[in-house]
Amino acid sequence: MRRARLAAWAMAAGGLVIVPTAVFIQLGLPPDWAPALPATPDYTSGLAFPLVGAFLLAHQPKSKIAWLMYVGGMFSAICVLLSILTYRAAADGDLMLAGLLNDLASIPWTLSGVMLAVLLPLFSPDGRLPSRRWRPLVPIAVTAAVLQAFLFSTGDKARIPNPLAIDLFQPYHADLYNVVYVLTNVCIAAGLVSLAVRLRGADPVTRRQIAWPLFTFAIYVVCLLLGPRFWVIGAAWTCLIPISIMVSVLRYRLFGIDTVISHAIVAAGLITVVSAVYFGVGAVSSLLVSSYHQVAGLAAALFAGAFFQPLRRALQRLSDRMLYGRSGDPRLLAGRLVHEARQADPAEALGVAVTVVRDGLAVAGAAVEVTDGPRMDSGSVGDRPRAIDLIWHGEPVGRLLLGPCGPRRFAVSHDERVITTLLPYVADMAHSARMAADLQRSRGRILAAREEERRRLRRDLHDGLGQTLGAMAMTLNMARISISRSPATADDLLEDLRSGMEAVTGDIRELVYGLRPPALDDLGLTGAVTSLTKETLPPATSVEVVADELGELPAAVEVAAYRIVQEALTNVRRHAQAGRVLLQLTREDEQLIVRIEDDGVGLAELRRAGVGTSSMRERAAELGGTCAITSPDTGGTLVEARLPTVVMEPSPRSS
């Protein structure tokens, strides 16, 4: 690659030497032999195309487009040099040499024309023809170039004799040359049409790539077809063609041709209208107040300034309507998105955002898929939409799907700058929708758990405690009846009643313990989990409890932390085979951090989350926290739960 780059830059030096040499010789020509046109498109082609072509070859040595640009540009440079040498030889009196050089210049002139004006647009931007139907254009264009060179070299010149002229062709030479000239122009127009056809049938990304060379080629072809009077303008414009092709091949996604066209329309309109207003008001003021030229100038400037801003807005709206239809300037899409989202209901904000994206980007459809959340559609995105990840603070929250471009619209839907501007807003709304969906699911789980807990309490009270108390009442009645007739029977009944009361006391204690462990009220969270470690783990396991000053915690947070520790210690006893357990309780930044770390066997590679693992995560999620279960590099298992210490109280309606 390094040798290819060095060779490319060495080749570029040829164009930078040939054309300046020709210009230097031209400046020394006498006025009688100076060319009628000071510069033609060949001058700028010979400078710009070899330089840009060599730059492309340095990056893509096998690019057909780069080779066409370089070789065609070198032919232009050689043509310029031979043409100037023709005039130099004629000025020195050697007309025979001048005629030979003039004939020789026709070869690179026609070859440069066919390569740069026909083959280059035909093969742009990827080095391939638009389709097989365009293959005949290549031999037709080459044949026309060869015929034009032949007719040019065999024709009769007015000032310089032609040693290669064929007298037999002279009566028909002008007609034949005109026919070939028209055929060449038809081939040039066909090359431009091929770009337009490719643009129409291409995907949105390729359309953006083709728009650059199509725009610059179109202006050049217009100047070329208008004749020699416009060749000076065409010569200046030719410098932009290789640059546009380079942008198309290398960096087309970073530059929007629609922006260039829009700014060109606005600038041209402002210059034209403001100049007309300025000079018109100045002329009228000079006629009415002929002795006050300063007043006329001031009045003209004031009128021009008054027209400037309204005119700029009108021209901007015109260019926007031409390029984007009703969608307007893409730079305003972000503002429109924010404005309409604020006006909408929070539940409908994402749908509004999708609609604005669809209308603003001029696509057939747009959709947002929220991870673990709803999907919002506007229009139809088709079978193969463009998918763009939505990232919110480094976290994927969904995807933005864009359908194909709508009819008669510029391919602005895939303008990377516009999408990059809109993505953060859409990602924020997708995150909000995801959080709302999570909140709704969490509320559903909490309500289901509450109802399930109420059902369990009802069942336990009715089936267990209620029946036990009923049986105890019957036993008490029987003992009262039997106490006078059979004291021994009454004593047995009272003994059974005492046993039943102890069972009821145990059931009530178990029921209360299920609602809230009494150890939390008696010992606090730190003391409760310390006692739990002694009750759960075997004596051989070394346990270390490290707790900060936790202060007052909400009851729900204490219960969740206790249950998570309880389940984690149960898993250690059952599965870990650990010799040491470290339990840490830390409070920081309105969070309670619970860590249970052991030095056991760690997590299995292929494992499924059990009921206990899911229970720990659900308890943390119900409070808006997280619970992660991992295997550190040092071995063992780490359970880390982060529980917010500020818990929202339920509203009266939800409770």
Identify the domain boundary among 515, 543, 571: 515
Please list the alpha-helical segments (H only) found in 129-203: 137-154, 170-201
Q: What is the mean pLDDT of residues 142-170?
A: 69
The predicted model scores a pTM of: 0.44
**CA-to-CA dists, residue 27 to 13, 31, 81, 92, 358, angstroms:** 22, 10, 13, 15, 59
Is pLDDT larger for residue 241 or for residue 596? 596
Is position 34 within any domain?
yes
- Domain shared by 100 and 149, yes or no: yes
Is position 609 within any domain?
yes
Identify the domain boundary among 382, 402, 431: 431
Average pLDDT, the chain: 76
Residue 642 confidence (pLDDT) above 80: yes
Q: Is 254 exposed, middle or buried (0-12, 13-18, 19+ CB in 10 A)?
A: exposed
What is the span of the domain harbouring residue 349? 330-431
Instruction: Give residue-wise pLDDT tens across range 74-106.
Output: 888 888 888 889 888 888 888 888 888 888 888
- The tokens for 174 are 């002008």
Give the pLDDT band (50/70/90) at residue 411: very low
d(CA 180, CA 172): 12
Identify the domain boundary among 321, 353, 374: 321
Query: Under a CB-based contact definition with an 8 Å cutoff, are residues 645 and 557 in contact?
Result: yes
The β-bridge relationship of strands 637-644 and 626-630 is: antiparallel
Instruction: Give residue-wise pLDDT tens across range 421-477.
Output: 778 888 888 888 877 777 777 776 776 777 677 777 777 666 666 677 777 777 777
Residue 400 confidence (pLDDT) above 60: yes
Share of the chain above pLDDT 90, in %: 1
d(CA 405, CA 206): 12
Is position 383 within any domain?
yes
Is position 420 within any domain?
yes
Structural domain tally of the chain?
5
Is pLDDT larger for residue 228 or for residue 104? 104
Least confident range of 45-54, 132-141, 195-204, 310-319: 310-319
- Domain shared by 214 and 303, yes or no: no
Write down the pLDDT at residue 255. 44
- The tokens for 238 are 């030719």
Q: What is the CATH number of the domain that holds 599?
A: 3.30.565.10
Instruction: Give residue-wise pLDDT tens across range 169-209.
Output: 566 677 787 888 888 888 888 888 888 888 777 766 677 67
Residue found by looking up tokens 């009262």 in the block? 480
Least confident range of 171-180, 206-215, 265-274: 265-274
- Domain shared by 61 and 148, yes or no: yes
Give the pLDDT band (50/70/90) at residue 261: low
Query: Under a CB-based contact definition with an 8 Å cutoff, are residues 525 and 548 in contact?
Result: no
Write down the pLDDT at residue 595. 92
Share of the chain above pLDDT 70, in %: 72
Is pLDDT larger for residue 565 or for residue 507? 565
Give the pLDDT band (50/70/90) at residue 1: low
- Domain shared by 8 and 141, yes or no: yes
Q: What is the CATH number of the domain that holds 466?
A: 1.20.5
- Domain shared by 88 and 196, yes or no: yes
Instruction: Give residue-wise pLDDT tens across range 313-344.
Output: 676 666 665 655 555 555 677 777 777 777 77
- Domain shared by 340 and 293, yes or no: no
- Domain shared by 227 and 266, yes or no: no
